[in-house]
Amino acid sequence: MASQSEHKATVIDGKLIAQTIRSEIAEEVRQLSEKYGKVPGLAVVIVGNRKDSQSYVGMKRKACAEVGIQSFDMDLPEQISEAELVSKVHELNANPDVHGILVQLPLPKHINEEKVLSEISLAKDVDGFHPLNIGKLAMKDREPLFQPCTPKGCLELLHRSGVSIKGKRAVVVGRSNIVGLPVSLLLLKADATVTVVHSRSNDQESIIREADIIIAAAGQPMMVTGHNDCL
Amino acid sequence: MASQSEHKATVIDGKLIAQTIRSEIAEEVRQLSEKYGKVPGLAVVIVGNRKDSQSYVGMKRKACAEVGIQSFDMDLPEQISEAELVSKVHELNANPDVHGILVQLPLPKHINEEKVLSEISLAKDVDGFHPLNIGKLAMKDREPLFQPCTPKGCLELLHRSGVSIKGKRAVVVGRSNIVGLPVSLLLLKADATVTVVHSRSNDQESIIREADIIIAAAGQPMMVTGHNDCL
């Protein structure tokens, strides 16, 4: 067992790093606006009244406003049909002022998420969830047009905190399409030795203890904790 | 350290399993032919005179003949231009008797492989190398139209040898687009706890020693060996 000092953790100040990134983006948007007379436009589509989704969407719209990105709000009723939602997506695909489209998940049960997401123009798939983008994310010597935001954020936090990834043992807890899977693919591309553990894994704890980098993306808090003797 | 008896290996008889699978496929082809008056057609495209490529292609064509699959041979000169090759691929896309297209890699250096592969109709991408197929292979609750053959073969060998994968620690050595990456994604989908080690990994040996299942796909033999004291 390693000594206590080796286990000493540095807490990454995510809020501070986010503020730095937002300032950088605000400056980029200002330059774009000056040079081309245009700002990036992000359409955020929400269907129904889920509290958590409304809160996420609210944060995204607020973040857009802060940095000067034009936000296109599309709030649709829970009862909207799949065909109507698809036609709304097509409208946004055709709108030249909209450069990115986010459809907040989950969608109501009567709507096929895969179908709707696949209708978003690849060039506007800023969530990076289209299987073609995930495939390019996975493959050596290919690059997706967009990377999913949470995985990208994880790597950005490591990078801006001065943590080198190359050759390190990284363990990702969880394998969701939205976080676990793409973050494991990004870490592999960044030359980490990557292990993915999940609900079917035996002996999760000992695997996690061997990691240099742990990304906890299991969808529930407190899955990964310190031992009392290390705290 | 485990005792010698625990390390005792069973050699998987790949040739025997392959023969069984070929007999099964021959029977399926016979039934298709009887029912529809048609057999599956596979186009195998080779550019230039690489010895190893010619040997692979020869084996594929021979395997087709054995099971009754119609083989469409397309042998093209080393000097063919990218545009000409793409137009050959389009011809095969349009041929209703061709159900699958294999373009043998590597292609000559003056040809962009990514460009050529992306021109193969998705419905005929039997190699499963199109990024859209790799993306669907990677993603939970999605299925690719085709799985790359070597990774699929690895899982088939495990399955037919009675090795259960769920919850096991699997280590994949190598992360190529053709074997390492897709086999790691298939093992993850089959509920293994998957680690990918590669040329940048530190401490490969100790990671490999902890594995229940090892897939050596580093492109060079004898990377993974037993210790003398375990042999």
pLDDT in tens, A152-184: 999 999 999 999 999 999 999 999 999 999 999
The partner residue sitting opposite A140, judged by closest CB among B132, B175, B197, is B175
Residue B25: inside a domain:
no
pLDDT grade for A230, boundaries at 50, 70 and 90: very low
Question: Mean pLDDT across the stretch B94-112?
Answer: 96
Residue A10 is predicted with a pLDDT of: 78
- On whether both B113 and B77 belong to a single domain, the answer is yes
Residues A59 and A105 in one domain: yes
Q: Is the pLDDT of residue B6 over 90?
A: no
Of B195, B125, B191, whose CA–CA distance to B158 is shortest?
A: B191
Whether residue B189 sits in one domain with residue B120: no
pLDDT reported for residue B94 = 98
Strand pairing category for B193-197 and A193-197: antiparallel
Would you place residue B8 in the very low, low, confident or very high pLDDT band (cuts 50, 70, 90)? low
Q: What is the pLDDT of residue B161?
A: 94
Q: Is residue B62 a part of any domain in this protein? A: yes
Q: What is the mean pLDDT of residues A202-226?
A: 85
> Nearest residue on chain A to B133, judged by CA atoms?
A135
Are A135 and B133 an interchain contact pair (Cβ–Cβ within 8 Å)?
yes
Quote the CA–CA distance of A210 and A193 in Å, as a whole number.
12
Q: Measure the CA–CA gap between B133 and B117, rounded to whole angstroms.
A: 12
> By percentage, how much of chain B surpasses pLDDT 70?
93
Catalytic annotation present for A104:
yes
What percent of chain A shows pLDDT beyond 70? Answer: 93
Structural domains in chain B (count): 2
Is the domain of B156 the same as that of B117?
no
CATH number at residue A184: 3.40.50.720
Better-predicted residue by pLDDT, B7 or B58: B58
Range of the structural domain that residue B160 is part of: 148-230
CA distance A73 to A41: 11
What are the Cα distances from residue A182, in Å, to A18, A129, A154, B108, B177? Answer: 20, 9, 11, 32, 16
Evaluate whether residue A141 is within a structural domain. no
Residue A139 Cα, gap to closest chain B Cα (Å):
6
Q: Choose, from B88, B124, B125, B127, the residue flagged as catalytic.
A: B127
Burial label, B70 (beta-carbon count in 10 A; 0-12, 13-18, 19+): middle
Looking at the fold, whether B86 and B159 belong to one and the same domain comes out as: no
**Share of residues in chain A with pLDDT > 90 (%):** 86
What is the average pLDDT across A5-27?
Answer: 87
A174: in domain? yes
pLDDT band at A6 (very low <50, low <70, confident <90, very high): low
Band (pLDDT 50/70/90 cuts) for residue A226 is low
Q: What is the ipTM of this complex?
A: 0.86
Q: How confident is the model at residue A227 (pLDDT cuts 50, 70, 90)?
A: low
Residue A108 DSSP class:
P
Do A120 and A162 lie in one domain? The reply is no
* CB contact (8 A) between residue B136 and residue A140: no
Interchain CB distance below 8 Å, A193 and B191 = no
CB contact under 8 A, B132 and A133: no
Structure confidence at residue A37 (pLDDT): 94
Does any domain span residue A138? no
Per-chain mean pLDDT for chain A = 91
Q: Indicate if B51 belongs to the active site.
A: no
Q: How many CA atoms lie within 13 A of B223 on its CB side?
A: 16
Q: What is the pLDDT of residue A7?
A: 57
| Residue A36 covered by a domain | no
B223, B177: one domain: yes
- The pLDDT value recorded for residue B227 is 59
pLDDT for residue B110: 96
Q: Identify the CATH number of the domain in which residue B113 sits.
A: 3.40.50.10860
- Mind listing the pLDDT tens digit for each residue in A65-111? 999 999 999 999 999 999 999 999 999 999 999 999 999 999 999 99
Summarize pLDDT for B58-96 with one digit per residue, the tens. Answer: 999 999 999 999 999 999 999 999 999 999 999 999 999
Cβ atoms A128, A144 nearer than 8 A: yes
The CA distances from residue A89 to A73, A97, A121, A124, B213, in Å, are: 12, 14, 9, 11, 45
Q: What is the pLDDT of residue A224?
A: 73
Same domain, B89 and B156: no
Q: Are residues B40 and B113 in the same domain?
A: yes
- Same domain? A152 vs A217: yes
User: Is a pLDDT exceeding 90 seen at residue A1?
Assistant: no
Q: Rg for chain A (alpha carbons), in Å?
A: 20
Which of B75, B92, B127 is the endpoint of a domain? B127
Residue A8 pLDDT level (bands cut at 50, 70, 90): low
Provide mean pLDDT across the span B206-219. 91
- Asked whether residue A32 is domain-assigned, the answer is no
Pair (A51, A119) in one structural domain: yes
pLDDT at res. B19: 95
pLDDT band of B162, cuts 50, 70, 90: very high
pLDDT of residue B229: 40
Of A133, A191, A198, the CB nearest to B135: A133
Question: What pLDDT score does B220 carry?
Answer: 74
Residues of chain A in contact with residue B167, where contact means CB-CB under 8 angstroms, are 200-202
Do A167 and A205 sit in the same domain of this protein?
Answer: yes
Is there a contact between B138 and A191 if contact means CB atoms under 8 Å apart? no
| Residues recorded for chain A | 231
Tokens of A219: 């969808």
Instruction: Tell me whether residue A60 is one of the annotated catalytic residues.
Output: yes
The pLDDT value given to residue B97: 97
Q: What is the arrangement of strands in the sheet containing B100-103, beginning at the earlier edge strand? A: B70-76, B41-47, B100-103
> Distance (Å, rounded) from C-alpha B231 to C-alpha B227?
6
All residues of chain B having their beta carbon less than 8 Å from the beta carbon of residue A138 are 131, 134-135, 138, 181, 185
Under DSSP, the state recorded for A104 is P
B139 CB neighbours in chain A (<8 A) are: 131, 134, 177, 181
Residue A73 falls within a domain, yes or no? Answer: yes
Segment B2-26 shows an average pLDDT of 81
